[in-house]
Chains A and B, each alone.
Chain A
Amino acid sequence: MGAHASEPIIQVKDLSVTFSGCQALNGITLDIRRNERLAVIGPANSGKTTFLRCLNRLNDLKHDYRHTGNILLDGKDVYDSDVDVARLRRRIGMVYAVPGPLPWSIYDNLVYGPKLAGIRSRDRLDELVETSLKAAVLWDEVKDRLRMPAHNLSGGQQQRLCLARVLALEPDVMILDEPCSGLDPISTAKIEDALVELKSSHAIVLVTNNTKQAGRASDRTAFFLMGKLIEVDDTTRLFTNPTDQRTNDYLVGQFG
């Protein structure tokens, strides 16, 4: 596409969301730039996960979901009627809070998405498996046992497998919903390492409950509170010098 790195790949415009009439997001306007890692922080129930699931339209699965406003991916509204939702979800790949390998082998987990995308060539699939496992810092641990059931992996390995599985889709944007919430510090470090490498080729949105992780692993940080975007700024600036008192309170641990 040859677009400039700081140009937005996703533009969220005045997005409001309700579930059964309950307001979950309220007037969010936010750009996500190419090749940046955007952290989304905020206390529980602040709408972080809902926001993430709007981007790849996973909220569509909930029948009481209603939204207003727009989400533009490369200038095209993802909620337009002619959008292929399956293709959209491959362009915006998601990693969930709980590692969820499907009950298959490591290899089959990784090629499921590419096969859905229509890739049939054995060589191409093998290549995708290798590159995505390497990018997720898992290749060396599993390269000799790709046919092993994925459930036999440890929790940290499973989550890196889920990261690799999303990478195998070759997405433009990666959205991660508290990917390290259940992991030990070493697994967390490995995932954060992987994110640093990935930034050169993907926009990354990282929802996290861990403000330290946001500080380490992001370029910009958005602070959500009660469904509203309170402020968004360069991570270092937001952490050292937030403009809004509520951001400051959250960061110093006054609430949440």
Chain B
Amino acid sequence: MRRLSPAITQRVAVTFLWSLTLITIGVLLYIILYILAKGLPHISWEFLTKAPESMGRKGGIFPMIVGTFMVAGLAVAIAAPLGVATAVYLTEYTREGRLTFVIRFGADCLAGIPSIIYGLFGFVFFSIALGMGLSVLSGALTLALMVLPTIIRTAEEAIRAVPYTYRETSYGLGSTRWQMVTRVVLPSALPGICTGVVLSLGRSISETAAVMLTAGSALRLPQSLSDSSRTLALHFYILSREGLSMENAYATASVLIIIILALNALAYWLMNRFIRRAG
């Protein structure tokens, strides 16, 4: 069999990779455009600022927007410091050994558990055993547990990517370990840590199963952390599942997608700015 010339192999490879990339982008664009096309016409100022009426057949989604940000924001606010602290401990404060293996293995296992299991655990533990009921707090704690492994592993990768010479240099200039971590390592690892946090925020916002069982599905505006609240993703699920209003379901989905796209764009913008400044 004759071998193909390198130039032809090269052309075939490029075409092949290009078409795969196009398919990926195509599918993504199709989904986004399809939902936006169905949902955007039903979005109005009233839809964004009013409470729902008759189970969401009419009215708006304001309480769900607030509820989504409360539950997801609180979840990430809890998980991010905890996850970054764990990553710092794993990378800077302990040697590789049985303990680090157990922590890492545990985190990887947690990352693979279906979200409905988290929901069930949160329901049994936070809502019932700790008496939080169906509430923003219970939902946020459950989501925090769910995204914790992602934050730990991305933060760990980001911290490991900081060159060892930076650490040696910092010690050589008379820093303690803590000063080295807070002034040299964490600032350098920040773009990577932010990526993990934004991914986690996106996952928290779009989660349904875990929040349904822990934050509940109340339609009213949550006044405090102990109130039940319905998130946008869950609202969409209930609207479409129970056939209440497909128009409003698509409109809700559009709002959800726009929020997540905006968050990602913001994160990238911040990261680029940070990287440029750090040079």
Return the contact of B171 from the options A89, A165, A166 (Cβ within 8 A): A89
A2: B residues at CB distance < 8 A: none
Contact string, A54-86, partner B, CB cutoff 8 A, digits 1/0? 001010010100000000000000000000001
The CA-CA distance from A73 to B28 in the complex, in Å, is 66
Contact string, B168-184, partner A, CB cutoff 8 A, digits 1/0? 11111111100100011
Q: B115: CB under 8 A from chain A?
A: no
Contact string, B72-116, partner A, CB cutoff 8 A, digits 1/0? 000000000000000000000001000000000000000000000
A86: B residues at CB distance < 8 A: 174-176
Known: A102-B184, A149-B279. A117 touches B169 (CB 8 A): no
Return the contact of A89 from the options B163, B166, B172 (Cβ within 8 A): B172
The CA-CA distance from A90 to B179 in the complex, in Å, is 14
Q: B54: CB under 8 A from chain A?
A: no
Contact string, B138-169, partner A, CB cutoff 8 A, digits 1/0? 00000000000000000000000001011011
The CA-CA distance from A149 to B188 in the complex, in Å, is 14
Contact B175 A94 (CB under 8 A): no
Q: A87: CB under 8 A from chain B?
A: yes
Shortest CB distance B166–A (Å): 6
Return the contact of B179 from the options A87, A102, A116 (Cβ within 8 A): A116
The CA-CA distance from A92 to B184 in the complex, in Å, is 21
Contact B170 A102 (CB under 8 A): yes
Q: Which of chain A's residues has its CB closest to B172's CB?
A: A94
A103: B residues at CB distance < 8 A: 166, 188, 278-279
Return the contact of B169 from the options A63, A87, A88, A102 (Cβ within 8 A): A102
Q: A113: CB under 8 A from chain B?
A: yes
Contact B188 A116 (CB under 8 A): no
Q: Which of chain A's residues has its CB closest to B162's CB?
A: A103
Q: A156: CB under 8 A from chain B?
A: no
B166: A residues at CB distance < 8 A: 100, 102-103
Shortest CB distance B263–A (Å): 26
Contact A100 B174 (CB under 8 A): no
Shortest CB distance A99–B (Å): 9
Shortest CB distance A111–B (Å): 10
Contact A152 B279 (CB under 8 A): yes
Q: A139: CB under 8 A from chain B?
A: no
A87: B residues at CB distance < 8 A: 174
Contact string, A107-134, partner B, CB cutoff 8 A, digits 1/0? 0000011001100000000000000000
Contact A56 B173 (CB under 8 A): no
Shortest CB distance B181–A (Å): 13
Contact B279 A151 (CB under 8 A): yes
Shortest CB distance B79–A (Å): 27
Contact B165 A113 (CB under 8 A): no
Contact A117 B174 (CB under 8 A): yes
The CA-CA distance from A165 to B166 in the complex, in Å, is 14
Contact A98 B173 (CB under 8 A): no
Q: A93: CB under 8 A from chain B?
A: yes
Shortest CB distance A243–B (Å): 35
Shortest CB distance B128–A (Å): 46
B95: A residues at CB distance < 8 A: 63
A89: B residues at CB distance < 8 A: 171-174
A166: B residues at CB distance < 8 A: 172-173
A interface list, Cβ under 8 A from B? 56, 58, 61, 63, 86-90, 93-94, 96, 98, 100, 102-105, 112-113, 116-117, 148-152, 165-166, 169
Besides the known contacts A93-B172, A100-B165, A100-B166, 17 further A-B residue pairs in the complex with CB atoms under 8 A apart:
A58-B172, A86-B174, A86-B175, A86-B176, A87-B174, A89-B174, A96-B165, A98-B165, A102-B184, A103-B166, A104-B278, A112-B183, A113-B174, A116-B179, A150-B279, A166-B173, A169-B173
B interface list, Cβ under 8 A from A? 95, 163, 165-166, 168-176, 179, 183-184, 188, 278-279
What are 18 sample pairs from A and B whose C-beta atoms fall under 8 A apart? Answer: A61-B168, A87-B174, A90-B173, A93-B172, A98-B165, A100-B166, A100-B168, A102-B166, A102-B184, A103-B279, A112-B173, A113-B173, A116-B174, A116-B175, A149-B278, A151-B279, A152-B279, A169-B174
Q: Please list the 8 inter-chain residue pairs (A to B) with the smallest Cβ-Cβ separation, ordered nearest first.
A: A149-B279, A90-B174, A113-B173, A100-B165, A86-B174, A89-B174, A94-B172, A100-B169
